[in-house]
Structure 1
Amino acid sequence: MRFKITDLRLQIKDSRFMILVILGIIFFFIYSFLNFSNLGNHFTWPDETANYFFINNFIQHSSFSVPEPLNAIAGDLIKPRSFNVYQGNLVPGSFLGLLLIYGLIGKVVGIGLVKFLTPLLAVIAVMFFYKLLLKIFDPKIAFISALLFFIHPAWLYYANFSMLSNIAFLTFLIIGFYLLISLDKDKNQHNWLLAFLGSFFIALALIVRTNEFLWVLGVLLLLLVGYRKKIKWQYLAIFMFVCLLVFIPILDDNQITYGNYLSFGYLRLEAGDNLAAQLPTEFKTSDSDFLNFIQFLILPFGFHAKTILINFYHYYAALFWWLFIAAFFGGLIFLYKYLQKSQAIYFLITGIISIYLLIYYGSWTFSDQLTLHLNKIGISYVRYFLPIYILTIPLIAIFYLFIRDLVIKKKYKILISAFLTIVCLAFNFNILYSAGYDNLSQVNQNIKNYNQINKTINNLIEPNAIIISNRSDKIFFPERKVIGSINFNDFSYWLNLLKADIPLYYYAVEDQNYIDNLSIALDQYDLALENRLKITDKEWLYQIILLSDDEE
């Protein structure tokens, strides 16, 4: 039998994929670093705390609503951050898609294994991204892009936060787009299945992060125009049918959980009779509810050019400067060398998504100054910009190959490749495990500290006590009921709880000046902070008491 060059190419391609599979197994454990360290149910992100709690509740009770009777006298204050309250019940302060998907899987595998779904999806995303890029670029670019994807600091970092939605969203999206662009009008054997599965994964992505629908729809329309000769109109019918099929259980759960088929957890659920009236107050910029709702869907934070540029600089150009420089020059090389239709469409999609996400999220001003000061990679901007980082990875690969191919001799190519790899890994792992207050090593230690503080406090206070704090609710929930934010206008509700014989404690992480101001404000309601107990060097536990009862 005669050996063909095409057979060798297939073997090389298969060997590359097998290398990625082996690396995928290794990176699954790297992505699971925090999971193996955190065997409990405490997290550093309020969103994770909420998602874990409601996924677990769905596994046990098939519901995303948990009764909290004390909210009747507490003005719905008894809830952690990232939770909402509807008719006195604790409900998710988010979209229900991730909770439903992970909850259904959790009914089979249990909550312990659900925590490993995000690391698994993070690995699967790399595999499908590689397959996707093979349809657009040279196999070398696709392979190097996959390797860079594995070690990208933003991806590796957020793959470790198993209860955030961003990794799952992007994984489903990558799988869906790969399957859809695999459609071939001339090969009908598997097209219907590809159309169904591609639509299914796109729909899964949209129920996980429904607010991203606009740019996802834009990409789909661009692909429809660019590949119109490959697409039958019946595929559009399949897409709409599958999306409807996937959204039906979400709409039903919305009705059960929030009282409206189209509602979701980010709204003020009892503030009005329609969705526009329920918008958070910060999104009400005009007298028209309709215009406010349209802006909320398209540009909820408005358009602020200076803020966009500042956020782009801080959370891409400066934070990952070595990757940004490579992507920038790789983009110039791309424009000069790569002119095929599929590559042009990829570049156009990358540009459109990047610009839209920079406007959408970059216009937002993050209000937590302490987090901005302490954190580097653990800022919400970074996880919201994940699509930008991932889409620009092939540009980095192009730059890498350009630098490597400046020399002819193989040994020099190897030396350059080794040097670039070592430099990239050094910068990546520095920001992941050493730099900032939010590196993974520090996060791991923080979670251990949370577990110890939780155990200490639980041994000190009454079983029915409520703990109030500005940012430490994640330490004590769900073992203890919490009030996750403080407003000086809410003290009358604290008074109601004390009169109902509910013990209240304040967990303080603020400086003494804040505590003094809080004490003055509490005194106006006949309340006081007493029995100060040191928990850590900078954190204290106070009991909140009713002075009139004390005097009696």
Structure 2
Amino acid sequence: MMKIKIKNHINIALVVVLAAVFFVATSSFNYFTQTADYTKWSSPDETANYFFAKRFSQGESLAYFDAAAIIGDNMVMPRSVRSDAGWLKPVSFLGIILMYGELGSIFGSAVIPFLTPFFAALGIIIFYALIKKIFSERIALISAFLLATFPVYIYYTVRSMFHNVLFIVLVVFAVYFIVLAAGNRKKKLEESPEAVKISVYKKFLTFKLDLKIWWQMLAAFISGIFFGLALITRSSEILWLAPAAFVVWLFYAKRLGIIKLILVLCGMFLAILPNAYFNQALYSAPIYGGYNEMNRSLDDLSKTGSQMINSFFSGDNKYGAYLETIYRNIFYFGFNKDQSISMARHYILEMFPVLLGAFLLGCLIILVLNIRKFQKKYLAYFLAFAIISAILIFYYGSWKFNDNPDPNRFTIGNSYTRYWLPIYLMMMPIAALAITRFSQAIMFSGDHPKRRWKRIIIAGIQSSAVLIISAASILFVLYGSEEGLAYLYYNNLAEKNNAQRVFSLTENNSVIITRYYDKFFFPDRRVIMGTIPDAEMLTAVSKLVNYYPVYYYNFYLKEEDVNYLNERKLSPYQLKMSLVKKMNRNFGLYKLEKAVVEVPAANKK
């Protein structure tokens, strides 16, 4: 017994050290690429999330008014920000902004870039604890190492203002606490004489619960809080989270009971309430968000739901049309089966073949071991996995993401990897089980070999497998593509130098027109997304130049090209463009000003 306790303590100590190393390693990227006066990000989503989280941490409102947005026909704003009559608001889900902003108000806004690494490190520990509850100590330990070195988990922890890692960590916390709330299968409430003591000498319905039941109820409430926080972090994920949770609940409804379910819902309501308040304040409805398309879909779904209920009671047979409306709103960007399968092949099979291979081997092993009677926990796990995988693959796989400028490249920075993080995560324990069972099979041993030398060899095989997989994963996330962290690090330093040069050449109140560099210029400078010539944009610029310095940052143009634009494209708007400076080999900074219209001498009086 003492040896088992020492072993458990060693394992949890290993996981804590692993999490600490993970935190230091992932935090170092932002620590070395950012400074107090220069905190920039590699995507517009991250830029907007950080900007509004920092505002919130400093006690400022999430929406702010910019007169330039009104003058510029609501075009003066970066990506991932919307302008409502001059009021700039976040487009993103508010969860990460509110949580990080609140923590920033307590510990200082300087901690915001390091919060995702912190929560991701905690996620490794809680993932270990969860898998230990569901599977075993050894599988949990291997799973923790697989997660801590998994390329997607590392990559989007480093890019710390994306929602995805925070979301998945909150879900893992929620699932862990719901497992605690379910309690031990062998100790049911109605079978334990100490669980409920009803005294006939006291008031009617007076009862006493033992401490374990109270802890389970508290765990259910805490689980609901984490589920709620996960939903406000990425509300769209309810599309797969709800059906998967419902299926698992069907398996364990008796152990959870109605009271614990109510406590989960109460916790969710408590966590969602602040988000609903800010949604109402910013977007005029508690369920609305920054995405107008999503808001329209919610309206259509709500209207269709009411119509279906009315149709049921009235006897109208219009369910086909209603289902078509629901389908169209859920698959807003279309449903493309072939593309979904193709993306799954690129981002699961081809990108992570070892994980997939180990997962499939683990599935085969579980099938063989449960050939006579499938254990309920495995059945619930695989049904949830099938539901989650199918929805995520066909929902996000039907979209077309081109985060990498080269659409023919399938790299870690493309959004499919972060959207499919739940799939990767659920594959890890089964892959760990395969490593465990395979190493035991090599030594013709069971779960607990009696001979010490066999245990040492089995542990060596498992450690070697984990070490090889981890080393390959770390090399992949650093150098596996042009979006690897090593290249991203040097690119960020180069862009920092470039942005600071642009700032030195432009006024603080200036507006810069750019195609992709809004993420580096905002909020130090106002930005307009676009390229010249664009009629709508030039109309806005012709007004802005009367009040603000306006610049254009894009590919460097030859003198004859600038003259052509001035004579043919800009003159109708009474604008002219002149080179300020060639910034590097490819890009130049230009200033847009009001053109002086020459009045012919014959017309002068």
Q: TM-score, structure 1 length as denominator?
A: 0.89
CA deviation vs aligned residue, 1:436-472 (integer Å, no higher than 9, x gap): 2211112222222222112111111223211111111
SS in 1 for 2:6: helix
The 8 Å contact of residues 77 and 527 in structure 2, kept in 1 or not, is answered as yes
The 1-side partners of 2:488 and 2:376 are apart by 44
Distance 1:545 1:19, change over 3 A: same
After alignment, is 454-463 or 44-53 more displaced?
A: 454-463
Which position in structure 2 is the counterpart of 1:494? 540
Equivalent residue, structure 2, for 1:282: none
C-alpha distance in structure 2 between counterparts of 1:368 and 1:422, whole Å: 31
Partner of 1:243: 268
Out of 126, 131, 134, the position equivalent to 2:132 is 134
Paired with 2:486 and 2:598, the residues of 1 have a C-alpha distance of: 46
Please report how far the alpha carbon of residue 114 of structure 1 lies from its aligned counterpart in structure 2 after TM superposition: 2.1
1:107-506 equivalences in 2 (<5 Å): 107-183=105-181, 184=183, 185-186=188-189, 187-267=212-292, 275=299, 294-295=326-327, 298-338=330-370, 339-367=374-402, 370-373=405-408, 376-408=411-443, 410=454, 413=458, 416-417=461-462, 419-486=464-531, 488-506=534-552
Q: CA deviation at 1:426?
A: 3.4
Q: Deviations over 1:355-374 (max 9, x none)?
A: 11001111101255615456
Alpha-carbon distance in structure 2 between the residues aligned to 1:549 and 1:136: 77
| CA distances 1:254-286 after superposition (whole Å, capped 9, x unpaired) | 1212233222111169x9999559xxxxxxxxx
Matches of 1:289 and 1:506, distance apart in 2 = 49
1:478 Cα deviation from its structure 2 partner: 1.1
Q: Please name the residue that 1:542 is paired with.
A: 590
Residue 27 of structure 2 corresponds to 32
**What displacement does 1:433 show?**
1.1
Q: Indicate if the aligned counterparts of 2:541 and 2:550 stay in contact, CA closer than 8 A.
A: no
- Which consecutive unaligned segments of at least 5 residues does structure 2 have? 190-211, 302-319, 444-452, 601-605
How many residues end up aligned between the 2 structures? Answer: 535
Q: Distance in 2 between matches of 1:494 and 1:243?
A: 45
Which residue identity is paired with 2:137?
P
- Give CA-to-partner distance per residue, 1:301-343, whole Å, 9 cap, x none: 3321111011111111112222222222222223222532112
Alpha-carbon distance between aligned partners in 1 of 2:377 and 2:398, rounded to the nearest angstrom: 31
What is residue 315 of structure 2 aligned with on the other side? none
Amino-acid identity (%): 29
Counterpart for residue 14 of structure 2: 19
Report the RMSD for the aligned CA atoms in angstroms. Answer: 2.9
2:5 to 10, 14, 36: 10
* One-letter identity of the residue aligned with 1:311: M
Over 6 Å off, 4+ runs:
271-274, 288-293, 510-513, 515-519
Quick one: distance in 2 between partners of 1:27 and 1:272?
41
Shift of residue 192 of structure 1? 1.8
Q: In 2, Cα distance between the equivalents of 1:304 and 1:521?
A: 40
Give the structure-2-normalised TM-score: 0.82
Task: Look up the match of 1:68.
Answer: 66
Partner letter of residue 500 of structure 1? N
* Cα shift at 1:135: 2.1
- Evaluate the alpha carbon distance shift between residue 369 and residue 118 of structure 1 in structure 2; reply closer, same or farther with a 3 A threshold: closer
Q: Is the 8 A contact 1:315 1:381 kept in 2?
A: yes
Are the counterparts in 2 of residues 495 and 546 from structure 1 also a CA contact under 8 Å? no
Displacement, 1:415?
A: 5.8
CA contact (8 A) 1:276 1:289 kept: no
C-alpha spacing 1:167/1:430, structure 2 compared with 1 (3 Å) = same
CA positional deviation for 1:511: 8.5
CA deviation vs aligned residue, 1:342-396 (integer Å, no higher than 9, x gap) = 1221122112111110011111012556154567111111111110111100122
Moved more, 92-101 or 406-415: 406-415
Structure number with larger C-alpha Rg: 2
Give ranges in structure 1 of 5+ residues lacking alignment: 278-287
Q: Which moved more, 1:115-124 or 1:32-41?
A: 32-41
